[in-house]
Amino acid sequence: MAKTIAILVARLIFGGLFVMATTFKFLDMQATAGFISGAGFPFPLFLAWIAAIFEVGLALAFLTGAFFSEAALLAGAYVIFLAFAFHGPSHWQANQAEFGFFVDHFTFLAGLLFAAVHGPGEKLAVHLGLKRTLA
C-alpha cells in the first residue's frame, strides 16, 4: 500500500508541475513568448503555444497514467532542452543562480527516467484499465 501511495504522490507531483507551468503560460502567453524570444528562438508566440499544449498533454499523461512511460521520456528530453536553452552555461556569467536552476533540471530528469522505467504503478494501472508500455 505504501508503494502505491508513493507512486500516486509522485504522479501528482509530476502532473501538478506541468499543470502549473501550463497555467502560467496561459495566464500570460506574451510573457512566455518574451522569455522564449529572449533565449533567441524564432516565432516565440507560436513556440509558447506549442509548449503550453505539450505540457497539457504531459500533465494528462501523468495524472491519468495513459502513455505514462512515453510521457516521462518525452518530459525528460523536454526538461533537459529547457535546462540548456534557458539556464545553460551561457547564462551563468550574468546570474550564478542559473547554474542551480540548470542542475535542478537534471534532478527532475532522474525522477522522470525512474518513472519511465517503473511505469504508472501496477495497482493503479490495473485499477484504471491501463497497461505498462515500457518494461
For the stretch 80-107, pLDDT in tens is: 999 999 999 988 988 889 999 999 999 9
Q: Answer yes or no: are the C-beta atoms of 126 and 4 closer than 8 Å.
A: no
In a domain, 92, yes or no: yes
The distance in angstroms from the start CA to the end CA of the chain is 22
Domain range spanning residue 61? 2-128
CA atoms within 13 A on the CB side of 12: 7
14-70: pLDDT as tens digits: 999 999 999 999 999 999 999 999 999 999 999 999 999 999 999 999 999 999 999
Q: Is 135 a domain residue?
A: no
pTM of this prediction? 0.85
Q: For the ranges 13-17, 101-105, 108-112, 126-130, which has the lowest average pLDDT? A: 126-130
CA 19/CA 120 separation, integer angstroms = 18
| Residue 64, in any domain of the structure | yes
Q: How many domains does the chain have?
A: 1
Specify if 133 maps to a domain. Answer: no
Residue 15 is assigned to a structural domain of this protein: yes
Q: Is 94 within the bounds of a domain? A: yes
